[in-house]
Structure 1
Amino acid sequence: MPILSSWRPTARPERRPFGAAASPRKSFAPVRVHYCSFRRGSFGGSGRVCYNMRHGDAMMKKIEWSQKLAVGVEVIDGQHQQWIQRFNDVAAAIATQEGPVQIGKTLTFLVDYTRQHFATEEKIMTAAGYPDLPAHLAQHHELTQTLQDLLRDFEEEGATQKLAEIVGSYLRHWLINHIQETDRKFGAYAQQKK
């Protein structure tokens, strides 16, 4: 059974703090999770978007590299493959409950690799004169902040159900969506510039 039995962005008029909220239970029983974040650009305008997620079990779906994820810029595609591997490592460490040391190492490595990848991608986009760079940078900033928050939460609370939910659903969805939609737009722009 996949982690998400339903995944729908929902408008939430009530005030809630940004971040994730989950049942206080630590078990992997079905539970609803509410995750809110700002969205800009290709996410349909600016403003707050919240996700309602339902966790069915502790299994995390791997992201498999395919040509659907190819941007067409060799350096970026190579880094995306590595980025996906780092995500899969974190998801596997959480799903198999490898222990706090291993989960912490893999999560820290994912955070560091994400920063490195974004810096490379931003240099390439700047050099190409990419007109949508400000919106793209905003998405990079959003994920960087989310990953920093996840790492801080992990250091304070350990491997909680909330961490599993966010990695297994929100982060997985963000990564795939960002590559397939936002990064591929840059790939098309870069191909036209050649």
Structure 2
Amino acid sequence: MLNLNPADFKPLVWKKEYESGHPLMDEQHRRLFAEVNELLAALRENRPKAEIGALIEKLFADTREHFGTEEALLSEAGYDETPVHALIHKQLLQKGARLVARFEENRLDFSEIFLYLAKDIVMDHILKIDIKYFGQLDWATVPATWQTRH
């Protein structure tokens, strides 16, 4: 256990270079950044466990939704590595489920959950793995319904 303090972490900042070029995917990525920052603020303010738990649950639900959307978009765009990408998503969600269970059992420290969300999901996955396909895909091949779906 790292035992880091919430004050040790800085809020995540969305930058234009993080954009995939697909409006829905970028909207979801920005929302995940905002939700991680909201969780960080709640942890810094030492809000009640129930409130923090609700933020964690929402973030995991939105992450699951985003992964499903992303996999469908990648498939529609003809991305050859979609099955591998889906496996990475599955592994991240399994790790998240284990952390949620530990949180509910009061066996999870702040640093573990925040590092999973900020580092594993945002920094390592979105900004290192997802970014690899951003320049490879022609989003114009994705049906228009994906372009405007919310």
Q: 1:10-89 to 2 correspondence within 5 Å?
A: 22=1, 33=2, 55=4, 57-59=5-7, 60-89=9-38
Instruction: Compute the TM-score of the two structures, normalised by the length of structure 2.
Output: 0.82
Letter in structure 2 aligned against 1:168: F
Which whole-Å CA distance do the structure 2 matches of 1:134 and 1:128 have between them? 13
Question: In the alignment, which residue of structure 2 is the partner of 1:169?
Answer: 115
Deviations 1:82-105 (A, max 9, x none): 111111122222222101110011
Question: What are the Cα deviations for residues 110-149 of structure 1, in whole angstroms up to 9, with x where unaligned?
Answer: 1110111111111101111211112211221121112211
Between 1:65-74 and 1:76-85, the stretch displaced more is 65-74
Note closer, same or farther for the CA distance 1:132–1:96 as it changes in structure 2 (3 Å cut). same
Q: Higher strand fraction: Structure 1 or Structure 2?
A: 1
The one-letter code of the counterpart of 1:183 is D
Give the ranges of 4+ consecutive aligned residues of structure 1 lying more than 3 Å apart after TM superposition. 191-194
**1:113 maps to which of 62, 85, 88:** 62
Shift in CA distance, 100/138, structure 1 to aligned 2, threshold 3 Å:
same
TM-score (norm: length of structure 1)? 0.65
Separation in structure 1 between the aligned mates of residue 115 and residue 79 of structure 2, nearest angstrom: 30
Letter matched to residue 184 of structure 1: I
Q: How much does 1:186 deviate?
A: 2.0
Which residue of 1 is the match for residue 144 of structure 2?
A: none
Cα drift, residue 157 of structure 1: 1.0
Kindly provide the CA deviation profile for residues 24-81 of structure 1, in whole angstroms up to 9, marking residues without a partner as x. xxxxxxxxx3xxxxxxxxxxxxxxxxxxxx73x3313211111132112111001100
- The structure whose RCO (Cα within 8 Å, separation 6+) is larger is 2
Name which of 69, 79, 89 aligns with 1:130.
79
Bigger Rg, structure 1 or 2: 1
**CA contact under 8 A between 2:71 and 2:86: conserved in structure 1?**
yes
Structure 2 unaligned residues grouped into runs of 5+: 142-150
Structure (1 or 2) with the greater helix fraction: 2
Once superposed, what is the RMSD of the aligned Cα atoms? Answer: 2.0
Q: Aligned residue pairs: how many?
A: 139
